[in-house]
Amino acid sequence: MAKLEARNIGKHFTTVQGGQVQEVSAIKNINLSIEDGQFVSIVGPSGCGKSTLLNILAGLDKPSEGEVILDGRPVSETGPDRIMVFQENALFPWLKVQDNVEFGLMVKGLGKEKRSEIAMQYLDMMQLTKFADAYTYQLSGGMKQRVAIARSLAIDPEVLLMDEPFASLDSQTRDLLLVELQLIWARTKKTIVFITHNITESVCLGDKVVVFTKRPGTVKKEIPIDYRRPRLPEDEGLRPFQRQVLEQLKGEIAKGDEVS
């Protein structure tokens, strides 16, 4: 049985242009099955609805049709079993690093000693132990994203949903985090859904890459990435997989969208 499923998911928005009410379809007929512990990358043209789908999987938005299934049961609201990591880290700048990581645990009602134990475990995993008492505004962009990931993992979600978390980082920091994220995933065995515009990033991380069409987005192709880990972005062995993804995207790019 799949860990997470999107069944016939569609999402429509109503807009008003020139006094006329119009319905815009963001995604349609999305069917996606994600196994327990699988790392799935989703890539597609700008505006194709990747983030819309992720918000629906997280319960932050409701589909116009279809349903989300987690462990065999329908879900329609947010919950600690599905945690989102955004492009912007959404940390609390007035709290120290450890306090940021402990925040979700505090909301769950865990005692101070247990919160501290769990937070330090994940700070150590993210190589942030010596920055536990620093404020987040004192950290680089890459370190802030590490804190955001540590905070998400500390809650111990069933599924980690990541919406272009490395998009605003410089290439050197991003490449480093691509390797670190694979090592963390190998240790935690989490199910991860990762949204990106970047073909190299999608292939480097994913057990499979799901390619979306131009809006209204739907699944065009699922490409398995059967290659050793950890993977480095510059590994020449990944080039054939990257070409497969690019080939699927060519027709969508020709329709007027761009993929980095």
Could you give the CA distance from residue 104 to residue 102 in angstroms, rounded to a whole number? 6
**pLDDT digits over 181-199, tens only?**
999 999 999 999 999 999 9
Which pTM was predicted? 0.90
Residue 213: DSSP 8-state: P
Q: Residue 253: which pLDDT band, with cuts at 50, 70 and 90?
A: low
Q: Which amino acid is at 236?
A: E
Phi, psi of 32 (to 5 degrees): -145, 130
Lowest mean pLDDT among 100-109, 126-135, 203-212, 248-257: 248-257
pLDDT one-digit tens code per residue, 224-244: 999 999 999 999 999 999 999
Judged against a pLDDT cut of 60, whether residue 66 lies above it is answered with yes
Domains and CATH numbers, the chain: 4-81+157-254 (3.40.50.300)
The percentage of residues in the chain with a pLDDT greater than 70, rounded to a whole number, is 97
